[in-house]
Amino acid sequence: FVTVVEDSFEPNQDGVCSGRHWPKGRPPIYVITPTYRRAEQIPELTRLGQTLMLVDSLVWIVVDDAESPTQIVVDHLKERGLCHVYLTSRMPVKFQRAKNPPRGVANRLKGLEWIRQHAKQGGVFYFADDDNSYDSRLFEEMRGTRKVSMFPVGLVTKLGVSSPIVRDGKITGFYDGWIANRKFPVDMAGFAVNIDFWLTKPNATMPFAVGHEETKFLESLGITNDDIELIANNATKIMVWHTKTKKNNKAVLGDKKLNYDNSNIMVLLKQLWR
Ligand code: UGA
Ligand code: MN
């Protein structure tokens, strides 16, 4: 006799979902994804969302850098049928016109706030920018993180990879094209954090400091290299890549002399940023 649990796509008061993708007793994974309005937004979310669908017991926290919810993103997430939370958090005004602003920070802070309030069943969280490429098995590897786990990230800086340097299972330094006095010269995609550990650090946070978000965040957790757990086969396997999608222009309407009323074109245009 099997009880069928209805699939739920919104986390309950304990911050977890139910259904086929939520077998009992698995620590949940919270993936915090900053995103923002641009031509590539929905394609990126499609790619990432479909990777995340291969992972069970996962909550996707999508935080849009927008004043108010963007309907096509809301609809897109609902259609995916993934356990998700959609939040908005705009980049502070003073950075909005900057040439090189701290990207995704306001979004991540909002996601972390949600975790502090709602995640009641333990598990881990991870920052997944919307434009990177992930091997879905990485999420299984990070599920067991006790404090902070680390792993290599491909396609970062001129060195092509960013990773802790490991000898005899111990971290002896960091390999990264931009060390810059950073205590933890790692990429945003290169670490995961245990929720219970995070909840013991009420003052831990991420500053709006371009290029120093990762190290300052990790420093605020009060960890040393000895606290870091190496995954991805002792940091010997690249399971996440810092890919960048070519920027595309906003779509314009084709030949304005033609009339597209009552055609599929009007429907297609609603799926684009214009
Ligand atoms: C690199 C790092 O990987 C980011 O984690 C870091 O936040 C950023 O630099 C920084 O230091 O500012 P990069 O690939 O250069 O990231 O930046 P993007 O991919 O353009 O942005 C990072 C994240 O922020 C993405 O998920 C993106 O969707 C989001 N973002 C970007 C916004 O929410 N708003 C923006 O205006 C731009
Ligand atoms: Mn990026």
pLDDT tens string 62-120 = 999 999 999 999 999 999 889 999 999 999 999 999 999 999 999 999 999 999 999 99
C-alpha 23 – ligand 1 centre gap (Å): 33
Q: What is the pLDDT of residue 241?
A: 98
Tokens 């709602």 found at = 118
CA 91, CA 212: separation in Å to the nearest integer?
A: 17
Q: What is the pLDDT of residue 2?
A: 65
pTM: 0.96
Instruction: Name which residue sits closest to atom 18 of ligand 1, judged by CA.
Output: 103
C-alpha 166 – ligand 2 centre gap (Å): 26
Q: What is the pLDDT of residue 1?
A: 65
Instruction: Name which residue sits closest to atom 2 of ligand 1, judged by CA.
Output: 188
Q: Is 214 among the residues known to form the active site?
A: yes
C-alpha 68 – ligand 2 centre gap (Å): 23
Q: Report, as ranges of residue numbers, the positions in the chain whose pLDDT lies below 70.
A: 1-3
Phi, psi of 208 (to 5 degrees): -85, 75
For residue 58, give the amino acid letter.
L
Q: What is the pLDDT of residue 138?
A: 98
Other Cβ atoms less than 10 A from the Cβ of 177: the count is 13
User: CB under 6 Å to ligand 1: residues?
Assistant: 34-36, 65, 91, 102-104, 107, 129-131, 187-188, 210-211, 213, 244
CA 18, CA 9: separation in Å to the nearest integer?
A: 8
